[in-house]
Structure 1
């Protein structure tokens, strides 16, 4: 129980940590200093972990991991979409 709670709290903190970056992109409409390759690799890694989290969840364990990983996948996806939208042409 404690480990699931720590997973939820830690995962939420990690996911919420992306919100300042999203707000900065929206405010400045600039992604010039961000590396698209890095964010795409991060998105790929989180996506692969999502498959594992779904597997764990279907096995009856790892629901906290699925929730927090899905949140991270969503937030990093938003960053990548914003990077594609606001990159200089």
Structure 2
């Protein structure tokens, strides 16, 4: 139980780590300094981990991992959406 709590807290911290980037993109309306490939690779990696997290949850374990990984996946998708939206406006 203690390690699940560590995972949940650590996962929330890692997920919330994307918030400053999102705020900066929205505030500046600019993504010119962001490498889109980086975020696509992060999306692919987190997406694959999401499959594993679902597998763990279906086995009755790993709910903390599923929750925090899903949060990261949603935030990465949001960042990619912002990149696509603002990149087209900057050209």
TM-score (norm 2): 0.95
Name the Cα RMSD after superposition. Answer: 0.6
Q: Please name the residue that 2:68 is paired with.
A: 68
Q: How many residues align?
A: 89
Q: Which runs of 4+ in 1 moved over 6 A?
A: none
Q: Please name the residue that 1:37 is paired with.
A: 37
TM-score (norm 1): 0.98
Q: Please name the residue that 2:82 is paired with.
A: 82
Unaligned ranges ≥5, structure 2: none
Unaligned ranges ≥5, structure 1: none
Spell out, residue by residue over 1:15-47, the C-alpha distance to the aligned partner (whole angstroms, 9 max, x if none): 111101000000000000000001000000000
Q: CA deviation at 1:83?
A: 0.4
Whole-Å separation in 2 of the counterparts to 1:27 and 1:68: 25
